[in-house]
Structure 1
Amino acid sequence: MFRTALKAFLLATFFSQALPASAQAPAPSFPRTELSIGMFRVNAEVAASEDLRMYGLMFRKEMPSNAGMVFVFETSQQYCMWMKNTLLPLSVAFIDETGKIINIEDMKPQTENSHCAEKPARFALEMNKGWFKDKHFKAGTKVGGLERFGATR
């Protein structure tokens, strides 16, 4: 009896972990905004509440090249990001309260490693991995459009 119950539990656990992303709870609806970095426009989904920040880009299988997600925090702190249940390789730019990039970190899919801001950040912008590097953006680059979320000039 115990072996049968254990086997049923293990099979149920395996299949619940192996469900495709489409079988997951439906993704929340994110508001959108347009950001600018240099000559590029970014169509960004906005994660401004704790629930939206926690869900982030989980379970996505693709993202257009000039699309991303901006995480808006209430206060400036040294925030960290991770990739649990995130299927896409991403780069994250941590951004200060003036809209300047502090540092950029590349993140590997489906990992729980912490990728942290080097200084207090007010925003984080996730893009497809390599997007910032390919466009030669680095620490000190200004991100426009964050003023509507409280960034100062």
Structure 2
Amino acid sequence: MRSRAWPVLAFSLLLLSGCASGGPWVEVGGERFRVEIADDDAERARGLMFRDRLEDGTGMLFIHEAEEPQAYWMKNTRIPLDILYFDNARRLVTQQRNVPPCSGGDRCPAYPSDQPARFVLELNAGEAERLKLQDGAELTFGEGIPPVR
């Protein structure tokens, strides 16, 4: 009986380990990041506002309906971020690195994309430099990312 229980236990542990690290993820610069998805107006407007920290290895992926010029700001954002803009082909077109928090309300500056973008990935400040990201880097979508047309 012991020999039959071991494969079941091993399989169960494998499933649990996958669930613990589960959730949507993206990969950029050869590294995987678990992401929260902001794919409607309300989620995109709130973004990472009012957060005191962003866990290592995580970020927020903003999905827009169309590829067009984008601009993000740090209103009510308490943590410095890298804001990475990607086009329809999921190629990095603009990097706004080490963007500081802003408590200035509507006086916070905008950080625009230099080219039209459809996807925006926000990571902790310093990640783009650490990964040595260059324009043209590819963003890979993993499990849990909604289909995009």
Would the TM-score normalized by the shorter structure come out above 0.5?
A: yes
Q: CA deviation at 1:131?
A: 0.4
Tell me which of 91, 100, 106 is aligned to 1:108. 100
Q: Secondary structure at the match of 2:82?
A: strand
| 2:67 pairs with 1:79 | no
Give the structure-1-normalised TM-score. 0.74
Mapped contact 1:68–1:125 kept (Cα < 8 A)? yes
Relative contact order: is structure 1 or structure 2 higher (C-alpha 8 Å, sep ≥ 6)? 2
Within 1, Cα distance between the matches of 2:126 and 2:109? 18
4+ residue runs of structure 1 moved beyond 3 angstroms? Answer: 146-149
Q: 1:45 aligns with which of 36, 48, 56?
A: 36
Equivalent-residue separation in structure 2 for 1:55 and 1:138 (angstroms): 28
1:71-126 per-position Cα deviation (integer Å, ceiling 9, x unaligned): 10001111100000000000100000011100110211015111111111001000
- Asked if 2 retains the 8 angstrom alpha-carbon contact of 1:60 and 1:87, the reply is yes
Is the contact between residue 29 and residue 132 of structure 2 (CA under 8 Å) also seen in structure 1?
no
Q: TM-score normalised to the size of structure 2?
A: 0.76
The answer for the alignment partner of 2:47 in structure 1 is 56
Structure 1 distance, partners of 2:68, 2:30, is 29
Gaps of 5+ in 2: 1-22
Per the TM alignment, residue 64 of structure 1 is displaced from its structure 2 partner at its CA by 1.4
Alignment of 1:1-153 (within 5 A): 32-106=23-97, 107-110=99-102, 112-145=108-141, 148-150=146-148
CA deviation string 1:11-47 (max 9, x = no partner): xxxxxxxxxxxxxxxxxxxxx5110113211101000
Structure 1 CA distance for aligned equivalents of residues 71 and 132 of structure 2: 23
Please report the RMSD computed on the Cα atoms of aligned residues, expressed in angstroms.
1.6
Unaligned runs of 5+ in 1: 1-31
